Amino acid sequence: MDAGDPDTAVELAEALVVSGDPLAAVETLQPILRRLPDYAAGVFTLGKAWLDLGERDKALGAWRRCLDADPDDRRGVAVLIASVEGDTTETMSQAYVRALFDRYAERFDEDLTIRLKYQAPQTLRAMVDQLLGADAAGLDVLDVGCGTGLAGVAFRSMAGRLHGSDLAPRMVEKARRRGVYDDLQVGELTAVLAREAHAWDLVIAADVLVYVGELGPVMIAAAAALKPGGLFCASTERCDGDGFALGPSRRFAHSPAYLRRMAVEAGLEIIVMEDAVPRWEKGQPVPGLVFAARLPA
């Protein structure tokens, strides 16, 4: 391995941070960054190493350099800066989410279902079965943030029309190969919800809200997309208190009180909210929630 090559140095430094040796990561990156001070991938990883060493100001400085070098914020640096500074950012940048999942598309299913024991689609389907009956059929179903189509598989049998959308083009292409959707599009969450007013019996968001902190606009858009009596069913990670919080994995968690408040403000009524384990990380279950919000008939 040639640590003098910038990409190789970053790969090695990332491995050193993960293995618990951030000082070695700093030492690996510094010669590269003396030559390439605006190398975004390098200063991004340098920031993580400095933070692990307790050097908060140096971490922030590195991440600000990264943001200067990559204004589209494909690495989600603004969220990290806000987290370290004690602010609560409202959402991940679209560029970060798109880049993350485009890179992840080819190994997504295996990582999620085997390594992370991902169960959100099955948990949501079980909840919907309790509400509508397992034999419900012919519904107009919108799967936002569909990824490679795992939720589409879970909900195909109850859908007369099944539409999927995702921000990442490579995810949409993987979902298309699965062959369960009637229609697919690349698009941002609220824009997709706004495409057809009062058109859907059921809107599904499996493992999507973890990339959105402030849910007010999402709830409002979901309410506008639902038919009267329709359901918005989603999973998220759980936090205490009455708001939302950014976790160390750069995923948002939401409190039950916050979800209820946002739903009410959007004109929705949460009729089911249950604790769930949407995935595992580092051998431990991630505390989560599933909920169903109804638009009054």
pLDDT digits (tens, 9 = 90+) for 58-104: 888 898 898 898 888 888 788 778 777 765 555 666 666 556 656 65
Work out the angle at residue 133's Cα, subtended by the Cα atoms of residues 131 and 139, and round it to the nearest 5 degrees: 90
Query: In the block, which residue shows the tokens 């179903």?
Result: 141
Mean pLDDT of 267-283: 89
The answer to which of 1-10, 12-21, 101-110, 256-265 has the lowest mean pLDDT is 101-110
pLDDT in tens, 127-186: 999 999 989 999 999 999 999 899 999 999 999 999 999 988 888 999 999 999 999 999
Query: In the block, which residue shows the tokens 């990156």?
Result: 29
Q: Is the pTM of this model over 0.75?
A: no
The CATH code of domain 6-71 reads 1.25.40.10
Q: Which helix (H) or strand (E) holds 52?
A: helix 40-52
* CATH classification number, 104-294, choose in 3.40.50.150, 1.10.3720.10, 3.40.50.300, 3.30.1330.60: 3.40.50.150
What is the domain partition of the chain in residue ranges? 6-71, 104-294
Enter the tokens of residue 254.
Answer: 């939401």
Is the confidence at residue 220, as pLDDT, over 70? yes
